[in-house]
């Protein structure tokens, strides 16, 4: 186990290095094809040569390789890796550290992910178990229909409809019914409120979780069906255990390993969803920062945030792999 | 994957017969389900719209009269059956012409990434060794950066690159970026099933008979490895259509003056509370109808090709 973890971590470091290199190559190519991003700093104004040089210096764009298409710019790459290793992910166009921005924004993203994960597990476990228990019956078919319907509404569509169609009437209704500033009124607020982070993140989180839950329903159903036909379940029934005991102890528990690890594996997808959710609902989280940065063409902020999120994804993937090996004794990687 | 194993005895005699029986079996399951037929009809309709938008509307989507803005839907037969938007553009014409970038983008992205995924997955699973090491490593690297984040990053980096106009040029940038980060899933699936199939007796038999590597890969290994991937295709097309809408909302996908459903949704969203819900509901309805049919089709395909879930 120790050796497996060590090897996996080494692999992850290599992957991380390659990811940073790939991002560097793409960014460099974009700068070479696109012209100088330092110009974005000045907006519509035309800078003098010295002003431009000062900005280029500050964002590390002074190297002449950025003017030669096809040059991989290895010198700036080394500088960049060294800066990353020291925790310096650059600054946005206003000079604020990307690390600062991300640290300030991270708690709201974590809140969102908490709610999303809970929604996944609750919806997935409930519907999936019910469908597996009454396989082939009407319940099973309606659960399947529900999961198809859920799949058919991408996160983006769900949130656009909620934000622009339902949120305002619902929050007006809640304010009339329960009073201004009451909890239900906060739930349905069309935008994020720093003073009530949990309440205003709740509904977007549930919607994002719902949009991703179809995969969980299918996964839970499939893995429980496998359990139902297993020998240990037949044994448990044969020795006369009551059905509810068989289900809770022998089916649900045994089938939950792939489900728990799937939470980690869908993390990358959920990050994309979080960007959409936070952007549309004005939640000040990492995704929201990225969304605003894209709108404002703040390229250095976009590069910084995407790099940080990729690092987080790599770490989550290792944790998932290790958890998988630890939870399921049948799996051994050598 | 189990169907690849069960198909072995037949495949040993002739790979052609086996692939036909699997397809025939899948087809039999598919056309007995009414929902798949409805989904297929809806998709066929939208593909027809993509091919011949001019048959559905006589208006020019780019000809917008600001004096005729925000007309509510008038019903068929009137000048503007679905009304006009905030700039006075005909909604029906925009819907018909906007279908093309949305669907074309999705088809191109999924087609090209499937091709890349199949080739790389085959090479990695068949040759193993350093080929596999390189391909698996690049799969891992690309998987780390989520599709949407990569698209946001690259499209904002390349925002000012001009690629000219015309339907294909409009979708060129988003298609390239989405393809670049969309092929890994197929490659992984294909690699896994090739690994399973390459050691089987009929493959060894073909090699012993002197078949070339290319022939073994495409005639013997691929037909059995492709089944699990086929079921992914409709769902991925649906995913790309959704992604296009997001990118359009941020102004970095298909760019105006070109029209796509995503752009219509992002323009129309603000007018719902202002009393013009049709500006959002028409494009949204088309998008949902397409995505829903694709998802239904994908679900049915997954069932037909994976007997374990029945």
Instruction: Tell me the C-alpha distance between B222 and B227, whole Å.
Output: 9
**Tokens linked to B181:** 């980060």
* 8 Å CB contact of B152 and A306: yes
Instruction: Tell me the C-alpha distance between B35 and B42, whole Å.
Output: 11
Instruction: Tell me the C-alpha distance between A23 and A183, whole Å.
Output: 43
What is the count of residue pairs from A and B with beta carbons less than 8 Å apart?
142
Interface predicted TM-score (ipTM): 0.80
Supply the pLDDT for residue B112. 95
Distances (CA, A) of A140 to A120, A135, B28, B33, B297: 19, 6, 22, 16, 19
Instruction: Tell me the C-alpha distance between B154 and B148, whole Å.
Output: 10
Closest chain B C-alpha to A168 CA, distance in angstroms:
8
Whether A158 contacts A248, CB under 8 Å:
no
Q: How confident is the model at residue B21 (pLDDT cuts 50, 70, 90)?
A: low
Tell me if chain B has a CB within 8 Å of the CB of A80.
no
A152 vs B137, B147, B291: nearest CB: B291
Residues of A in contact with B158 (CB under 8 A): 30, 33-34
Q: Which of residues 256-275 of A touch B (CB under 8 A)?
A: 268-269, 271-273, 275
Q: Which residues pair with A91 in a beta bridge?
A: A97
Whether A148 contacts B297, CB under 8 Å:
no
Q: Is the pLDDT of residue B11 over 50?
A: no
B141 vs A18, A165, A222: nearest CB: A18
* 8 Å CB contact of A164 and B270: yes
Whether A275 contacts B148, CB under 8 Å:
yes
Q: Which helix (H) or strand (E) holds A319?
A: helix A299-327
A18, closest residue in chain B (CA to CA): B141
* 8 Å CB contact of B288 and A155: no
Higher pLDDT, A334 or B300: B300
For residue B257, is the peptide bond before it cis, meaning its omega torsion is within 30 degrees of 0? yes
The tens-digit pLDDT sequence of chain A (334 residues) is 778 888 888 888 888 888 888 888 888 887 777 766 666 667 667 777 787 777 777 666 767 777 777 777 777 788 888 888 887 777 777 778 888 888 888 888 889 999 998 998 899 889 999 998 888 888 988 998 888 888 888 888 888 888 888 888 888 888 888 877 777 777 877 777 777 888 888 888 999 898 888 888 888 888 888 888 888 888 988 998 898 888 888 888 888 777 777 777 777 778 888 888 888 888 888 888 988 888 887 778 888 888 888 888 888 888 887 877 777 766 655 4
Tell me if chain A has a CB within 8 Å of the CB of B128.
no
Instruction: Tell me the C-alpha distance between A267 and B146, whole Å.
Output: 9
CA nearest to A222, candidates A259, A269, A267, A260: A259
Instruction: Tell me the C-alpha distance between B148 and B178, whole Å.
Output: 8
Look at the block and give the residue holding tokens 């960007």: A275
How many Cβ atoms from other residues are within 10 Å of residue A330's Cβ? 5
Whether A120 contacts A128, CB under 8 Å:
no
* Average pLDDT of the segment spanning B256-269: 83
Tell me if chain A has a CB within 8 Å of the CB of B13.
no
Whether A56 contacts A38, CB under 8 Å:
yes
The tens digit of pLDDT for each residue in B160-185 reads: 666 666 667 778 888 988 898 889 88
A272 vs B137, B146, B245: nearest CB: B146
Q: Where are the alpha helices (DSSP H) in chain B?
A: 2-6, 8-13, 15-31, 34-51, 91-127, 129-144, 147-157, 167-180, 184-198, 201-208, 213-215, 222-225, 227-230, 232-250, 261-268, 278-305
The tens digit of pLDDT for each residue in B193-241 reads: 888 888 888 888 988 998 888 888 888 888 877 877 887 888 889 888 8
Q: Which of residues 217-276 of B touch A (CB under 8 A)?
A: 235, 238-239, 242, 245-246, 249-252, 265, 269-270, 272-273
**DSSP-based three-state secondary structure for A91:** strand
Supply the pLDDT for residue B45. 92
Supply the pLDDT for residue A30. 78
The tens digit of pLDDT for each residue in B70-119 reads: 677 776 666 677 777 777 777 888 888 888 888 888 999 999 999 999 99
Q: Is the pLDDT of residue B18 over 60?
A: no
Whether A20 contacts A12, CB under 8 Å:
no
**DSSP-based three-state secondary structure for B86:** coil
CA nearest to B151, candidates A162, A90, A276: A276
Supply the pLDDT for residue B15. 43
Q: Which residues contact B18 (CB under 8 A, 6 or more apart)?
A: B7, B10, B11, B223, B224
Q: Is the pLDDT of residue B5 over 50?
A: no
How far separated are the first and last CA of chain B, in Å rounded?
Answer: 15
Tell me if chain A has a CB within 8 Å of the CB of B38.
no
Q: Which residues contact B289 (CB under 8 A, 6 or more apart)?
A: B42, B46
């Amino acid at each position: 186990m120790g050796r497996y973890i060590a090897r996996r971590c080494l692999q992850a470091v290599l992957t991380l290095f390659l990811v940073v290199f790939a991002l560097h190559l793409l960014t460099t190519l974009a700068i070479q094809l696109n012209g100088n991003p330092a110009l974005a700093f000045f907006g519509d104004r035309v800078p003098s040569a010295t002003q431009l040089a000062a900005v280029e210096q500050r964002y590390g764009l002074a190297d002449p390789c950025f003017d030669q298409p096809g040059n991989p710019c290895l010198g700036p790459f080394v500088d960049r890796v060294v800066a990353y290793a020291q925790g310096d992910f650059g600054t946005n166009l206003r000079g604020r550290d990307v690390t600062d921005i991300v640290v300030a924004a991270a708690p709201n993203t974590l809140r969102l992910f908490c709610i999303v994960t809970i929604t996944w597990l609750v919806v997935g476990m409930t519907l999936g178990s019910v469908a597996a228990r009454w396989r082939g019956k009407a319940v099973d078919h309606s659960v399947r229909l529900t999961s198809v319907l859920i799949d058919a509404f991408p996160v983006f569509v769900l949130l656009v409809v909620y934000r622009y169609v339902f949120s305002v009437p619902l929050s007006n209704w809640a304010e009339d019914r329960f009073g201004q500033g009451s909890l239900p009124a906060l739930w349905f607020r069309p935008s994020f409120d720093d003073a009530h982070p949990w309440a205003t993140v709740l509904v977007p989180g549930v919607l994002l979780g719902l949009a991703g839950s179809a995969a969980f329903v299918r996964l839970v159903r499939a893995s429980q069906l496998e359990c139902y036909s297993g020998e240990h379940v037949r044994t448990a029934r044969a020795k006369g255990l009551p059905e509810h005991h068989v289900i809770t102890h022998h089916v649900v528990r045994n089938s939950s390993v792939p489900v728990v690890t799937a939470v980690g594996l869908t993390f990358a997808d959920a990050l994309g969803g979080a960007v959409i959710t936070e952007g549309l609902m004005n939640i000040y989280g990492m995704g929201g920062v990225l969304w605003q940065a894209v709108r404002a063409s703040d390229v250095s902020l976009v590069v910084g945030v995407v790099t940080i999120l990729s690092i987080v994804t790599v770490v989550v993937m290792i944790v998932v792999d290790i958890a998988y090996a630890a939870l399921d004794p049948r799996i051994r990687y050598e | 994957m189990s169907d690849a194993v069960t198909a072995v005895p037949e495949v040993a005699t002739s790979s052609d017969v086996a692939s036909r029986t699997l397809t025939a079996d899948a087809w039999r399951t598919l056309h007995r389900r009414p929902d798949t037929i409805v989904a297929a009809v809806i998709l066929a309709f939208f593909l027809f719209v993509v091919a011949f938008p001019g048959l559905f509307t006589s208006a020019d989507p780019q000809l917008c009269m600001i004096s005729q803005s925000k007309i509510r839907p008038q019903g068929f037969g009137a000048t503007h059956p679905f009304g006009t938007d905030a700039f006075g553009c005909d909604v029906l014409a925009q819907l018909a012409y906007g279908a093309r970038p949305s669907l074309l983008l999705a088809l191109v992205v999924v087609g090209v990434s499937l091709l890349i995924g199949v080739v790389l997955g085959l090479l990695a699973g068949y040759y193993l060794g350093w080929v596999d090491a390189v391909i698996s490593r690049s799969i891992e690297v690309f998987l780390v950066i989520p599709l949407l984040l990569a698209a946001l990053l690259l499209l904002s980096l390349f925002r000012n690159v001009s690629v000219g106009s015309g339907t294909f040029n409009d979708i060129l940038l988003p298609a390239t970026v989405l393809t670049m980060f969309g092929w890994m899933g197929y490659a992984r699936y294909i690699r896994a099933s090739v690994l399973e199939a390459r050691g089987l007796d009929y493959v060894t038999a073909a090699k012993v008979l002197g078949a070339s590597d290319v022939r073994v890969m495409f005639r013997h290994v691929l037909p059995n490895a492709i089944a699990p991937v086929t079921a992914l295709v409709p769902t991925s097309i649906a995913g790309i259509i959704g992604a296009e809408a997001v990118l359009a909302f941020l102004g970095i996908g298909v760019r105006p003056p070109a029209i796509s459903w995503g752009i219509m949704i992002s323009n129309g969203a603000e007018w719902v509370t202002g009393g013009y819900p049709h500006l959002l509901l028409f494009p949204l309805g088309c998008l949902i109808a397409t995505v829903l049919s694709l998802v239904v089709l994908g679900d049915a395909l997954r069932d037909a090709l994976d007997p374990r879930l029945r």
